[in-house]
Chain A
Amino acid sequence: MSSSTTAAAPRKSAGGRFLASELSVLFRRRRTWALLAALAAIPVLIAVAVRLSSGPSPGRGPAFLDQVSQNGLFVAVVATIVAIPLFLPLTVGVVAGDTVAGEASTGTLRYLLMSPVARGRLLAVKYVGAVVFCLAATFTVAIVGTLMGALLFPVGPVTLLSGTSIGVPEALLRIALVCLYVTLSLLGLCAVGLFMSTLTDVPVGAMAATVVASVVSQVVGQLPQLEWIHPWLLTQYWLGFADLLRDPIVWDSFAANALLQAGYVVVFGALAYGRFSTKDVLA
């Protein structure tokens, strides 16, 4: 008996399996783990360097660096601050830039489309995959930071920017909140990367363009002459998570960031769809 009676097959299943398959492919790639390992190296380096040096160096280096030797939890915070301007956009740029162009370059894009995966669905799944990588990336930095801090330094209650002191569990929660904030900050960049990725069949090109976009945005953000454009910059709120370290938490910057990132996701998501839905897949 052949199993070819298509009537027995489900007419159409939910889209969850393709997403699961996408994530499994993403996390079975050695490259993904290399990127996460590179990110994990940041808190390790910071913790070891502080441990080996004699005492704190107040006033120099990234914010909170002077606190690390008194409270290991700060390794996670310092490492996140260090990772935000370059390392996180770099790794996210690699993954987001690879989304469509990478499939095109291996020739798997045409087979996915013929499976069939509708083009809009493909973009959505690819985007969600990149966002999951952002989550993994930011939490990698924070978790490795926390572990290294606990290993090399004393861990205790943390004094917030507003002066109140919170216990370790509450502090860990705040660190997780910072991770979510950073992930949120990267949503726009993911959408930019997705769009870039629909423009070319050469993944490296899309990756570079995405990273350049984040760098240019940060450079423009440094120029007071261009202050009028600052509120619209992708990177405007990237380091604005200090409000999450107050008591009570001030959600203003979180909301402003979410709105800005949502704007980028909508605009670049639409551009990516506009480009990809009509694109001839010749690779």
Chain B
Amino acid sequence: MSGAADLVIETAGLTKRLGGRDVVNGIDLAVPRGSVFGFLGPNGSGKTTTIRILLGLASATSGDVRVLGESIPRALQEVLPRVGALVEGPGFYPFLSGTANLLRLDAADRYVSPSTRRQRVETALERVGLSQAAGKKVGRYSLGMKQRLGIANALLTHRDLIVLDEPTNGLDPQGTREVRHLVRSLTEEGTTVFVSSHLLTEVEQICSHAAVLSAGSLVAQGSLDELRRSGEPRIRVTTPDVPQTHDVLRRLGTTPDDDGATPGAHSVTALLPAGLAPDQVVRALVEADVRVNGFSVDQAGLEDLFVALTGEGFDVVQ
């Protein structure tokens, strides 16, 4: 394994067998230092299991894992102090306050200074907007507040890597925005952030890199631009002459998305016809006397790629 210096997480052929099937099937992750890495996949695709293995909570059936350049699980005790994590939802003692819970978890960490403990806990709580509720028992927290506390726990001290498993679960839109903000500020501090999510928009908004997991296998990986480029570009025509536009596009060899032509629609979208440049499409439209009020080319949203890679619908992959 070369180039480990630039990779914060690196796995080779990582496999986990549980109950006779491969929950994680030979995945090769490569998370560059300084990236915000989105780990995408539908529910049940093996994201959390992979994260558990990365953090030494579960053992791999086979394959190599390196985190921060060290082999896992061998160097776990040296690596984990530099890693903050929120895995599989927050876990706290309901009978203790938010502050007391963080103090407890911090006390378990032998690598941090106890003299700065209170200060660090306060700062972390402030960062996730929980200062007001710090003294309240966690049992009385809402799901979103627990989630925030979980994130605060990951921020107790400076980390080189922060792993956030479905960080926006239970958060309202305001909280989701705050998480986005937080992730950005973490990267500015030089922390690599590894975010797992089943929500594509979330990843699209905050990540620089992503990997897509489907049924335990890695089906795509790279920078967001690379991933987008692998999709096909789409065109959007704004026009009052919708039926004529449909005719022209069909003649060019592409099928408009809304074939039934919704009455009153003023735009048509379709895949860019193969082998044609956008300007050629515009010329064909104009020559057919279509009034073109607007024309744009969109790179395929990650959405299309995501759906193409992992399938559509609610079926949890078995």
Let me know if A114 and B85 touch, CB within 8 A.
Answer: yes
Let me know if A21 and B58 touch, CB within 8 A.
Answer: no
Give every chain B residue within 8 A of A17 (Cβ-Cβ).
Answer: 107, 110, 114
Task: A237 to B113: give the CA distance in the assembly, Å.
Answer: 46
Let me know if A109 and B111 touch, CB within 8 A.
Answer: no
A252-283 vs B, CB cutoff 8 Å, 1 = contact: the mask equals 00000000000000000000000000101110
8 Å CB contacts to B: which residues of A25-70?
Answer: 25, 28-30
Task: A271 to B119: give the CA distance in the assembly, Å.
Answer: 40
Asked if B52 is at the interface of the complex by the 8 Å CB criterion, the answer is yes
Give every chain A residue within 8 A of B89 (Cβ-Cβ).
Answer: 107
Contact of A8 among B80, B90, B113 (CB under 8 A): B113
Q: Which of B91-99, B176-184, B298-306 makes up part of the contact surface?
A: B91-99
Task: A56 to B182: give the CA distance in the assembly, Å.
Answer: 73
Closest-CB distance, A125 to chain B (whole angstroms): 9
Q: Give the size of the chain B interface in residues (CB under 8 angstroms).
A: 43
Known: A2-B158, A114-B57. A21 touches B81 (CB 8 A): no
B54-94 vs A, CB cutoff 8 Å, 1 = contact: the mask equals 01111100000000000000001100111101011111111
Task: A4 to B112: give the CA distance in the assembly, Å.
Answer: 10
Asked if A113 is at the interface of the complex by the 8 Å CB criterion, the answer is yes
Let me know if A281 and B57 touch, CB within 8 A.
Answer: yes
Let me know if A107 and B90 touch, CB within 8 A.
Answer: yes
Let me know if A106 and B94 touch, CB within 8 A.
Answer: yes
Let me know if A21 and B108 touch, CB within 8 A.
Answer: yes
Known: A4-B157, A9-B112, A280-B52. A116 touches B107 (CB 8 A): no
Asked if B104 is at the interface of the complex by the 8 Å CB criterion, the answer is yes
Give every chain A residue within 8 A of B92 (Cβ-Cβ).
Answer: 106-108
Let me know if B114 and A13 touch, CB within 8 A.
Answer: yes
Given contacts A18-B107, A106-B91, A114-B57, 20 further A-B contacts (CB under 8 A): A4-B158, A11-B111, A12-B111, A28-B96, A106-B94, A107-B88, A109-B91, A110-B57, A111-B91, A111-B153, A112-B108, A113-B56, A114-B55, A115-B80, A115-B108, A116-B56, A116-B77, A118-B77, A281-B58, A282-B52
Task: A71 to B92: give the CA distance in the assembly, Å.
Answer: 49
Known: A17-B107, A25-B93, A107-B88. A4 touches B55 (CB 8 A): no
Let me know if B107 and A21 touch, CB within 8 A.
Answer: yes
Contact of B91 among A2, A107, A278 (CB under 8 A): A107
Q: Give the size of the chain A interface in residues (CB under 8 angstroms).
A: 38
Let me know if A15 and B91 touch, CB within 8 A.
Answer: no
Task: A9 to B153: give the CA distance in the assembly, Å.
Answer: 18
Task: A13 to B107: give the CA distance in the assembly, Å.
Answer: 10
Asked if B116 is at the interface of the complex by the 8 Å CB criterion, the answer is yes
Closest-CB distance, A94 to chain B (whole angstroms): 15
Task: A12 to B106: give the CA distance in the assembly, Å.
Answer: 13
CB nearest neighbor in A for B112 = A9
Task: A108 to B95: give the CA distance in the assembly, Å.
Answer: 13
CB nearest neighbor in A for B123 = A3
Closest-CB distance, B91 to chain A (whole angstroms): 2
Instruction: Provide 17 A-B residue pairs closer than 8 Å at the C-beta atoms, listed in order of the A residue.
Output: A3-B158, A4-B189, A10-B111, A15-B110, A21-B104, A28-B100, A30-B95, A106-B93, A110-B52, A114-B55, A115-B109, A116-B56, A117-B108, A118-B77, A278-B59, A281-B58, A282-B57
Let me know if A280 and B59 touch, CB within 8 A.
Answer: yes
Give every chain A residue within 8 A of B158 (Cβ-Cβ).
Answer: 2-4, 6
Task: A17 to B105: give the CA distance in the assembly, Å.
Answer: 11
Let me know if A116 and B91 touch, CB within 8 A.
Answer: no
Let me know if A12 and B110 touch, CB within 8 A.
Answer: yes
Asked if B252 is at the interface of the complex by the 8 Å CB criterion, the answer is no
CB nearest neighbor in B for A102 = B93
CB nearest neighbor in B for A6 = B158
Closest-CB distance, A124 to chain B (whole angstroms): 13
Task: A282 to B85: give the CA distance in the assembly, Å.
Answer: 15
Asked if B290 is at the interface of the complex by the 8 Å CB criterion, the answer is no
Asked if B171 is at the interface of the complex by the 8 Å CB criterion, the answer is no
Known: A13-B114, A28-B96, A110-B88. A116 touches B76 (CB 8 A): yes
CB nearest neighbor in B for A30 = B95
Contact of B83 among A15, A24, A114 (CB under 8 A): A114
Asked if B282 is at the interface of the complex by the 8 Å CB criterion, the answer is no
Asked if A20 is at the interface of the complex by the 8 Å CB criterion, the answer is yes
Let me know if A116 and B109 touch, CB within 8 A.
Answer: yes
CB nearest neighbor in A for B58 = A280
Give every chain A residue within 8 A of B77 (Cβ-Cβ).
Answer: 116, 118
Asked if B103 is at the interface of the complex by the 8 Å CB criterion, the answer is yes
Let me know if A114 and B116 touch, CB within 8 A.
Answer: no
Let me know if A113 and B113 touch, CB within 8 A.
Answer: no
Contact of B113 among A10, A278, A280 (CB under 8 A): A10
Closest 7 CB pairs of A and B: A107-B91, A4-B158, A116-B80, A280-B58, A21-B107, A115-B108, A281-B57
